[in-house]
Amino acid sequence: MNAPTSLNVAGSMNNKFKMAALVALLSSVVWLNGCGRAEATKTESEIAEEEAQKVIPIPVEVSLVQKGSISSNYTTTAVLEAKEEAFVVGRASGIIEHIMVEEGDYVEKGQILAKLEPQRYELNLRRAQADMTGIEKELAKINKVYHQKLVSDDIYDKITAQYESAKATLALAQLDLKEATIVAPISGYIAERNAKVGNLTESFQRERMFHIVQQKELYGIVYLPEKELSKVHKDQKASLIITALNDKKINALVERISPVIDSKTGTFKVTLRVPNKDKKLMAGMFTQVSLNYNTRDNATLLPKKAMLALDDTINVFVVDNTGIANKVAIKTGYQEGDFVEVVEGLSGNETVVITGHQNLKDKALVNVVNG
């Protein structure tokens, strides 16, 4: 009876051992699975962090620094004026009978512009000629007897004076008839025609009949501050930008410099000579004037929009061959148009950032988007 009891106890203990081993095995598997998941999770985190640390290039636009000429200019404005112009008024009085020209016509000096009714002046001339003929005959008779002492000196002097008076009257009558024909005093274009057929014109009246301008060469009048006087000289170069001709650039020269300063404005007058060979310029056109003080050739030219004012210095970002933007401090000289002269900091063969550089940092990686 005791033997079966021993076997039961041994079997029970064996089952307990098997259960413990099974539990231990399951625990080991669970622990290994947990470790595997932890290890897998750590690897994903590292990958995400590495992705986050990748540098993204900043898109920018660039331009090449170049060599060229640049000038120091004084900029102002002017209105073009005709070098020669004439306001034609009638010297004789009368009714306008004919108009020979219209506005826009080109006329030569001495060409007929208009005619007044000539009848009155023709009659005056005929009368003066008749008086002159009578006095000449009378004077011829007196001369014959005067040398024989048959006529007193008083009579001779009186006839001689009458002759001179008749001679002057005849000359005035001839001049009046001549001035009944209005002619151009200069060559040029008819800018205004105020005369009309049938109108009465008075001798030397204030209202002008015609306005003639000669535009083969024009003047540009500018007024400069007195501090600029020492920088201006005759035949100095200037350039004009003509607004009405799509900002066409015209070269000009200093013709005259006023010797006095206007005490009210503190300025002096400078007259520019503006050629007009192609006849496209017109008096009255508005222009922007740049008076050239000095020109430097083979200068290092930088686009103005590449400059950045940082820390009280002027800087640019220079892009190297690896796509890195390096901040470089520069010193500038003359400025003209869209360019500025670089006197220190660049050699002239660099590529600089012109757009997208406001938020760039030194040594930043960039992506050039304009080729």
Query: Which of 296, 314, 333 is the last residue in one of the domains?
Result: 296
pLDDT tens-digit profile of 50-90? 554 567 889 999 999 999 999 888 899 999 999 889 999 98
Q: Is 41 within a domain?
A: no
13-17, 110-114, 116-120, 155-159: segment of lowest average pLDDT: 13-17
Q: Is 21 within a domain?
A: no
Q: Is 2 within a domain?
A: no
Q: What is the CATH number of the domain that holds 350?
A: 2.40.420.20
Q: Tell me the backbone φ, ψ of residue 350, rounded to 5 degrees.
A: -90, 160
Task: Tell me the C-alpha distance between 215 and 187, whole Å.
Answer: 10
| Same domain as 317, residue 287 | no
Q: Tell me the backbone φ, ψ of residue 139, rounded to 5 degrees.
A: -65, -35
| Same domain as 259, residue 227 | yes
pLDDT tens-digit profile of 235-284? 999 999 998 899 899 999 999 999 999 999 999 999 999 999 888 899 99
| Same domain as 302, residue 291 | no
Going by their DSSP bridges, the two strands 58-64 and 364-368 should be labelled as parallel
Q: Is 31 within a domain?
A: no
| Same domain as 246, residue 313 | no
| Same domain as 309, residue 266 | no
Q: Is 75 within a domain?
A: no
Number of domains the chain is built from: 3
Give the domain range for residue 271. Answer: 214-296
Question: In the chain, at which residue ranges do the beta strands (DSSP E only) sit?
Answer: 58-64, 66-88, 94-99, 106-107, 112-116, 181-183, 188-193, 200-201, 210-225, 237-242, 248-257, 267-275, 286-303, 308-310, 313-319, 324-336, 339-344, 351-355, 364-368
Find out whether 92 and 179 touch, Cβ atoms under 8 Å: yes
| Same domain as 165, residue 97 | yes
Q: What is the CATH number of the domain that holds 118?
A: 2.40.50.100
| Same domain as 184, residue 237 | no
